[in-house]
Amino acid sequence: MLLASVSFAQSLAQQVVSGIASGAIYASLALALVLIYRAMDVANFAQGEMAMFATFIAYTLITQFHLAFFAAFALTVVIAFAGGFAIERVMIRPFEGSSVLTLVIVTLGLFSIVNGLAGLIWGYVFKTFSGPFSSNSIQFGGVYIGIQDLGVIAVTLVVLSVVFLLFRFTKLGLAMRAASLYPESSRLLGVRTSRMLALGWGLSASVGAVSGMMIAPIIYLDPNMMQPILLFAFAAAVLGGIESPLGAVVGGVLVGVLLALVGTYLPGGQNLRTPFALLVIVAVLLFRPAGLFGRIEAKRV
């Protein structure tokens, strides 16, 4: 009996760490969603596909151009930024000021375009994407923790810190925040808000790309790989408060841990992860629509 409870505690600790690692990945994608949502009031349904496409670029850089993982990683982040920037200029800019529904349809269109393009270039056969981290575990007081999990958590922490520092301490970050929250006032202060939006798309694509490159070694690489992840990221963003970057990160970790526990301890749990993510979305929208960190704002009409 005692033995069983010790091993339960150990397995629980392992699942929590592994959940935090998955959660870190959801957090990155959720943050990417939030960055665009804050600027446009629109959920970018193509966010996952953009991340997938970037991951395929990393795959090509590694397999065809024989780059080391982290060289390919850095280059991909830059390419994703340029791609996100270009997508905003070409596909979103003509619809600036359009209704939310129009923009939702544009992002859905973008979803199909990016998905189809990836299929056309790389095909639909599952590919192995080797990550930089060993699949071994290290032991902490009887608990085995995957090096891969720790690596994913570390990489995500670095990326999130860079984004945080950018927004908190740089003039550009301040202007991006101001432009997304108060576009009209910002224009009167000389901010070129349309350009800020394009930079926001670039940044968001970069952060999303990180989530793709971190998840691909755990699952397989294929054009549809990010679709469940996008759903988990939505759950994370909604749970955290869709306008709160900090909320996206906390929400991501919470959803990651929750789904890890559901997957391990509920009978048939692996298949229950998606319904549980939906359950989180519905529950939050019903009982606390602003999420954990969102604020309910009174609007003057």
Partner 1 sequence: MALLELTDVTASYGPIRALHGVTAYVDEGSIVALLGANGAGKTTTLRAISGVVRTGGRITFNGRDITNNKPAEVTRLGIAHVPEGRGTLAQLTVSENLRMGAYIRSDGNGVKRDLDRVMGYFPWIRDRRNQVAALLSGGEQQMLAIARALMLKPKLLLLDEPSLGLAPIVVREIFRIVEAINREQNLTVFIVEQNAALALQVARRAYVMEVGRIVLEGPSQELALDESVRKSYLGY
For position 246 contacting partner 1 by CB under 8 A, the verdict is: no
Among 98, 123, 192, 275, binds partner 1 (CB under 8 A): 192
Q: Out of 191, 205, 259, 262, name the contact with partner 1 by CB under 8 A.
A: 191
Site for partner 1 contains 1 (CB under 8 A): no
Q: How many CA atoms lie within 13 A of 38 on its CB side?
A: 27
Give me the least distance between CB of 33 and partner 1, in Å please: 19
Q: Of 97 and 190, which CB lies nearer to partner 1 in the complex structure? A: 190
- Identify the residue among 3, 90, 97, 171 touching partner 1 (CB under 8 A): 171
175 binding partner 1? (CB under 8 A): yes
Q: Which is nearer to partner 1, 68 or 181 (CB)?
A: 181
What is the DSSP code string of the chain?
-HHHHHHHHHHHHHHHHHHHHHHHHHHHHHHHHHHHHHHHS---TTHHHHHHHHHHHHHHHHHTS---HHHHHHHHHHHHHHHHHHHIIIIIGGGTT--HHHHHHHHHHHHHHHHHHHHHHH-SS-B----SS-S-EEEETTEEEEHHHHHHHHHHHHHHHHHHHHHHH-HHHHHHHHHHH-HHHHHHTT--HHHHHHHHHHHHHHHHHHHHHHHTTTS-B-TTTHHHHHHHHHHHHHHH-TT-HHHHHHHHHHHHHHHHHHHHHSTTGGGGHHHHHHHHHHHHHHH-TTTTT--PPP---
Interaction of residue 268 with partner 1, rule CB under 8 A: no
Check residue 273 for interaction with partner 1 (CB under 8 A).
Answer: no
Of residues 151 and 173, the one with the C-beta less far from partner 1: 173
Count of positions on this chain that bind partner 1 (CB under 8 A):
17
Angle formed at CA 95 by CA 93 and CA 97, multiple of 5 degrees: 100
Backbone angles phi, psi at 221, to 5 degrees: -95, 120
Shortest Cβ 105–partner 1 spacing (Å): 24
- Identify the residue among 3, 101, 141, 184 touching partner 1 (CB under 8 A): 184
Distance of CA 136 to the CA centre of its chain: 26
Is residue 6 at the binding interface for partner 1, with CB under 8 A as the rule? no
- For residues 141-170, which are near partner 1 according to CB under 8 A? none
47 interacts with partner 1 by CB under 8 A: no
Residues 248 and 290 sit within 8 Å (Cβ to Cβ):
no
Q: Tell me if 181 contacts partner 1 by CB under 8 A.
A: yes
Among the residue ranges 41-49, 178-186, 206-214, 252-260, the one whose residues contact partner 1 (CB under 8 A): 178-186
Give the residue with the Cβ less far from partner 1, 186 or 206: 186
121 counts as binding partner 1 under rule CB under 8 A: no
Q: Does 186 bind partner 1 (CB under 8 A)?
A: yes
Tokens 């679709």 correspond to what residue? 227
* Interaction of residue 93 with partner 1, rule CB under 8 A: no
Of 286 and 298, nearer to partner 1 (C-beta) is: 298
Contacts with partner 1 by CB under 8 A lie at: 171, 174-175, 177-178, 181-182, 184-193
